[in-house]
Structure 1
Amino acid sequence: MNAPTAAPPSRLAFVASDRPEAQAARARLAERYGSAAFEEAEVIVALGGDGFMLETLHAVLGRGAPVFGMNRGSVGFLMNDYNEDDLPARIAAADPTRIHPLQMDAVTQANEHHSALAINEVSLLRQTRQSAKLRITVDDRVRMEELSCDGCLVATPAGSTAYNLSAHGPIIPLDAKILALTPISAFRPRRWRGALLSHTARVRFEVMEGDKRPVSATADSYEVRHVARVEVHERRDLALTMLFDAGRSFEERVLAEQFAA
């Protein structure tokens, strides 16, 4: 026997990216279903691509409202297919996926302190033609004295199919309680491919020769330049909920991606 679905939500808030097709979809859906205020909605419906989904998830941090995305952008791995019919019932039958963000705490060469949250990844990247040199510490133990590279990142399971995958990092199932530590174009040690860490791990990057080899740090879209050190850990006290069509859960998409040609 199938488990009963939740009651269809009556208060939906529609938000859209700047793309014309997303704005047009928002106008049609709001006219058809009504549009609640963002702060009062039971469910946020995000219309756009994966980048806009990340923006929306950042906007709802701390609110608890789930987000149901529909693809009106160029990339839609985090989005459901676009369909205007029976939307409340579709949302009620959707599978929820809970994710936890990363906390980035960065200190610049000028001793300025910056903090930000990342849903996908925290990445460090060289700012000039010079390669970056990083010392990597995990849970207060130095694990790599010197990594010469274009950069390095820490990815969540939800973000493991994004920049992490492009950098040849592993795809991580959402329930694995693992973070990916992935180098970006490592030069020395040349054969190092990264590591899988417990979700409780605390990672610290120290930039070596930062005046000669400047490095930036980015938490999703929040960038800090000329960093001296960066600390990263998972925020288990914060959770976000994404909704995916029944039978097309995010877990299924991540699993299917591992068998993609």
Structure 2
Amino acid sequence: MSFEKICFLASGAEVAQSALTRLASAYGNVPPEESDVIVALGGDGFVLSTLHATQKLSRPVYGMNRGTVGFLMNTFGENRLRERLAAAETAEISPLRMKAWQIDGETTEALAINEVSLLRSGPQAAKLRIFVDGKERMRELVCDGALVSTPAGSTAYNYSAHGPILPIGADILALTAMAAFRPRRWRGALLPKSALVRFDVLDPVKRPVSASADSGDVRDVTSVEIRSANEIVHRILFDPGHGLEERLLREQFV
């Protein structure tokens, strides 16, 4: 595939802005809606925000690491960029859709490419009730929080919480507990991608909980529903041999 018209976007970091200036000078720079491909310069957080911001354009996104971890990024390089883009592998991922209800009656909807997480926001542990497809599966989980992760996000917050790494093509979601106190040894479950997950917060005034879809907290939630948004497909480009499936596999042997 030929990518003649490139849109370069960069995080606010000085190293990313400097790279933006040089690459735009070498290859030109067009607005996102006029581009064939979007090149995101930054870290994983920036490429996630780029995917969200350009979702309606259906342009593939190729990240080059000007951040720290860079799991979703390619190695930075200024030479032969169009050749790298033409040879890149494509990973297609769908986000999660979160709907959160708050104590004051407000509702918030958001999309998450990596995960939807719930986290206690007070000094006491959260108490959560878990439903899957309308059926109560856990009457009370006492914990610091819980999350539902996509395969693409399974090496992020989910992995830090000792959740499983999921193959990128798996039609599975990971439900992972964070610092579960009761049941003490319960760390989560693997669910079909089609599952509708609902968390009800028990005693939300005494034990407040916030919810987050990738980023941006929704405070004082009483219930949160999570399901796959299969109608939305993001395309991420990776250099050959360094695709998302290979990265997820490699991460399990380190």
Under TM normalisation by the shorter chain, which class is it?
A: over 0.9
Partner residue in 1 for 2:44? 50
Shift of the alpha carbon at 1:115? 0.2
Give TM-score scaled by structure 2 length: 0.99
Task: Note the 1:31-110 alignment, pairs <5 A.
Answer: 31-110=25-104
DSSP 3-state at the match of 1:209 = coil
Shift of the alpha carbon at 1:222? 2.3
Partner residue in 1 for 2:249? 255
Give the Cα separation in 1 of the matches to 2:80 and 2:68.
24
Structure 1, unpaired ranges of 5+: 1-5
Give the Cα separation in 1 of the matches to 2:170 and 2:215.
25
Task: Note the 1:1-261 alignment, pairs <5 A.
Answer: 6=1, 8-260=2-254
Give the Cα separation in 1 of the matches to 2:95 and 2:237.
17
| Contact 2:3/2:85, CA 8 A, preserved across alignment | yes
Identity %: 57
1:114-140 CA distances to partner (integer Å, 9 max, x unpaired)? 000000000000001100000000000
| Contact 2:62/2:237, CA 8 A, preserved across alignment | yes
DSSP 3-state at the match of 2:169 = helix
Give the Cα separation in 1 of the matches to 2:140 and 2:185.
14
DSSP 3-state at the match of 2:57 = coil
1:101-121 CA distances to partner (integer Å, 9 max, x unpaired)? 000000001110100000000
Shift of the alpha carbon at 1:38? 1.4
1:5-58 CA distances to partner (integer Å, 9 max, x unpaired)? x2x311000000111110000000000000011111110000011111111111
Give the Cα separation in 2 of the matches to 1:46 and 1:168.
29
1:160-195 CA distances to partner (integer Å, 9 max, x unpaired)? 000000000000001011000000000000010100
DSSP 3-state at the match of 1:128 = coil
* Superposed structure 1 runs of 4+ greater than 2 Å apart: none
Two-structure CA RMSD over aligned residues (Å): 0.6
| Contact 1:16/1:23, CA 8 A, preserved across alignment | yes
Give TM-score scaled by structure 1 length: 0.96
| Contact 2:32/2:54, CA 8 A, preserved across alignment | no
| Contact 1:116/1:222, CA 8 A, preserved across alignment | no
DSSP 3-state at the match of 1:256 = helix
- Amino acid aligned to 1:18: G
DSSP 3-state at the match of 2:139 = strand
